[in-house]
Amino acid sequence: METHSAPSALFLLLAVSSFLLTASSPQYSQLQSYIIRMRLPRNATLVSAQALDDWYRSLLPPTAANSTEPRILYTYTAAMTGFAARLTEDELRSVERKPGFLASFRDRQVPLLTTYTPRLLGLLPGLGLWTHSNMGKGIVIGVLDTGLVDHASFAEQGMDPPPARWRGSCAPGLQGAISCNNKLIGAQSFVKNESPVDTIGHGTHTASTAAGNFVAGANVLGNANGTASGIAPRAHLAIYKVCGRFDCTISSITAGMEAAIKDGVDVMSLSLGGGPIAFYDDVIAIGAFSAVERGIFVSCAGGNSGPMATSLSNEAPWVLTVAASTIDRNIRATVRLGNGVELDGESAYQPNSYPSDSLPMAIPDGSLDGPNCWQGLVEAEVKGKMVICSIESGSSILIGDNIKSLGGLAMLMVNGELDGYTTMAEAPNLPMSYLNYINGSSVAHYVNATQTPVASIIFRGTVFKRSVEARHLGTGVNILAAWAIQVGPNPPQTTGNTQTTFFTMISGTSMYVPHLSGIAAPIKAAHPDWSSTAVKSAIMTTSDITYKDRNPIKNEQYNNASFLGMGADNVNPI
């Protein structure tokens, strides 16, 4: 049998989690979480969930069965036949010898991998798919993510009651934290000791992208202002929190899938996933297969590790897995170098009081060839300066905070060669511009070749530039959607449990997933007799292979994209 190492792309979440695991007490360090997959006994008198639970428990050796620490974490009957348990190696061997044992999977952490997009897709009230299908009315989208916060995007306004077949619910005790209503019809947590409340923002963002209600005046720090809505604004939402800040395991994801299948969701949205893995070892793919068998449409993130080969996640053919593409909106932050050259970059934080004076520039470490702005950044290097950093240094938000605390006045984030022309509009706590690789290299050459290099940043607001790109659906870069907190400098103090209206822009294949979950909803509403595979086929076969102006679609290096490069996610819902 093959062995699988953890995916090489280590996200912060993954790194922090493994640290916590190694730091746990030695007594429990021999215990590992495993997912055990069983085959139902031939005689199958085990019809009730209780009978299955009892059977699973009977498989544990006495040392585990009698342990004071509960060993069974989750039991599964719908996503797969099996359970998750904490076992020693010896105990695992014992379970593996039981009749009906199929496979064991060591539990592992997986990384979490719009105002404007509905209009971009031609989805406007009274037009196209939104007319015929009533914007996903009667459809339930299950979002397996980091939970959600109370937000105007999840208001009940205009929503019908959930379908009669709905069996899900909201966890007790959520009053005041999350308002369940006819929009939000389910909220459960599968993360130990955590409520369904989102402490990260990711789940709030993806849920509102899939099926958020209409919110007028949505913006991030005044940018990208407009009426926000999900792709399926009349669909119901059921939230399954499967990832916390430090904990995002395949056993809890499977538990979320189990609940979503039993509750009766129509669509499952998973903006998470590790690297490539064989289908028989891919627990998410196994759970998704069970869901698809029951007619549930499953949309999953392909990961953010390209463009190298073999970097995809969630590649099982029964789920919809697509990459992220850019949209034609730019939150422009133009860098003007001392020699007069102007370079257009992006930033979601556009301070109107920022002086257009030129600042002295600094490249920590003197090179942008790798991470140059995190470890060991010192005050002398950055104080009073515009600091130029390779995006490989890490999160612009965290790096921005660090530079600001060391007295830096502004920041340029620069793509690596593989990132090419894709820029991101983030909202750090100091003036910044995010530059593509070519423009970033021009800045570096200017700094290298100039005695006293200086530059200023001119904030130009929201620009709809690349209107030729205006038909993509697999959009995942700079997507504005609901957020848990106010972003940017000087966030206002919020009081208690008031429903928030914060929005922010984030990027990644995570952001594209709920778009496709959202588009599946109106299709399912219009064609209730279609299988999830038929829905998937309908979506993929609308895919455009050129821009509106009939020019070839470009990849991140602005070269003509190959068919494999562009995939089938440039969906045209009209």
Ligand X SMILES: *[C@@H]1O[C@H](CO)[C@@H](O)[C@H](O)[C@H]1NC(C)=O
Name the residues annotated as catalytic. Answer: 145, 202, 510
Q: How far apart are CA 256 and CA 73, in angstroms?
A: 13
Strands, E, within 154-266: which ranges? 184-189, 215-220, 223-228, 236-241
Q: Which of 6, 19, 29, 41 binds ligand X (CB under 6 A)?
A: 41
Piece in contact with ligand X (CB under 6 A), picked from 19-27, 29-37, 155-163, 442-450: 442-450
Asked whether the beta carbons of 187 and 147 are under 8 A apart, the reply is yes
Per-residue contact flags (x/-) with ligand X for residues 417 to 436, judged by CB under 6 A:
----x--------------x
* Residue (125 or 366) nearer to ligand X, CB: 366
The CA–CA distances, whole Å, from 573 to 112, 137, 155, 551 equal 27, 17, 25, 20
Q: Which of 8, 27, 45, 50 binds ligand X (CB under 6 A)?
A: 45
Q: Is 472 helix (H, G, I), strand (E, B) or coil?
A: coil
Backbone angles phi, psi at 57, to 5 degrees: -60, -35
* Residue (450 or 497) nearer to ligand X, CB: 450
Per-residue contact flags (x/-) with ligand X for residues 514 to 553, judged by CB under 6 A:
--------------------------------------x-
Piece in contact with ligand X (CB under 6 A), picked from 10-18, 41-49, 191-199, 247-255: 41-49
* Sign of the alpha-carbon dihedral angle for 384, 222, 466, 390: positive
Would you call 210 exposed, middle or buried from its count of C-beta atoms within 10 A (0-12, 13-18, 19+)?
A: buried
Q: How far apart are CA 384 and CA 397, in angstroms?
A: 19
Piece in contact with ligand X (CB under 6 A), picked from 185-193, 195-203, 301-309, 359-367: 359-367
* Residue (384 or 552) nearer to ligand X, CB: 552
Q: How far is the CB of 436 from ligand X (least distance, A)?
A: 5
Closest CA to 519 of 357, 320, 294: 320
Q: Is 158 helix (H, G, I), strand (E, B) or coil?
A: coil
Q: How far is the CB of 535 from ligand X (least distance, A)?
A: 31
Binders of ligand X in range 310-339 (CB under 6 A):
none
Binders of ligand X in range 482-511 (CB under 6 A):
none
Piece in contact with ligand X (CB under 6 A), picked from 39-47, 122-130, 185-193, 304-312: 39-47
* Residue (222 or 338) nearer to ligand X, CB: 222
Cα torsion 86, 90, 92, 94 to 10°: value is -130
Q: Half-sphere exposure of 430 toward its Cβ, with a 13 Å CA cutoff?
A: 21
Looking at residue 84, its amino acid is: A
Q: How far is the CB of 440 from ligand X (least distance, A)?
A: 8
Would you call 358 exposed, middle or buried from its count of C-beta atoms within 10 A (0-12, 13-18, 19+)?
A: middle
> Taking CB under 6 A as the rule, does residue 343 contact ligand X?
yes
Q: Which of 29, 157, 339, 367 binds ligand X (CB under 6 A)?
A: 367
Q: How far is the CB of 443 from ligand X (least distance, A)?
A: 8
- Other CB atoms within 10 A of residue 325 CB: 24
* Residue (367 or 541) nearer to ligand X, CB: 367
407-445 residues labelled b (16+ CB within 10 A) or e (exposed): ebbbbbbbbeeebbebbbbbbbbbbbbbbbbebbebbbe
Asked whether the beta carbons of 450 and 339 are under 8 A apart, the reply is yes
Per-residue contact flags (x/-) with ligand X for residues 82 to 101, judged by CB under 6 A:
-----------------x--
Q: Which of 5, 66, 353, 356 binds ligand X (CB under 6 A)?
A: 66
- Let me know how long the chain is: 574
Binders of ligand X in range 176-235 (CB under 6 A):
217, 219, 222, 225
Indicate the residue whose CB is closest to ligand X: 444
Closest CA to 321 of 277, 259, 260: 277
Examine residue 70 and say whether the peptide bond preceding it is cis (omega within 30 degrees of 0): no
- The H or E element that residue 89 is part of is helix 89-96
535-548 residues labelled b (16+ CB within 10 A) or e (exposed): bbebbbebbbeebe
Per-residue contact flags (x/-) with ligand X for residues 392 to 421, judged by CB under 6 A:
-----------------------------x
Piece in contact with ligand X (CB under 6 A), picked from 189-197, 362-370, 450-458, 534-542: 362-370
Q: Which of 32, 94, 395, 442 binds ligand X (CB under 6 A)?
A: 442
Piece in contact with ligand X (CB under 6 A), picked from 10-18, 108-116, 328-336, 439-447: 439-447
Piece in contact with ligand X (CB under 6 A), picked from 38-46, 122-130, 229-237, 282-290: 38-46
* Residue (102 or 574) nearer to ligand X, CB: 102
Q: How far is the CB of 397 from ligand X (least distance, A)?
A: 21
Question: Which residue ranges make up the site for ligand X (CB under 6 A)?
Answer: 41, 43, 45, 62, 66, 99, 217, 219, 222, 225, 341, 343, 363, 366-368, 421, 436, 438-439, 442, 444-445, 448, 552, 560
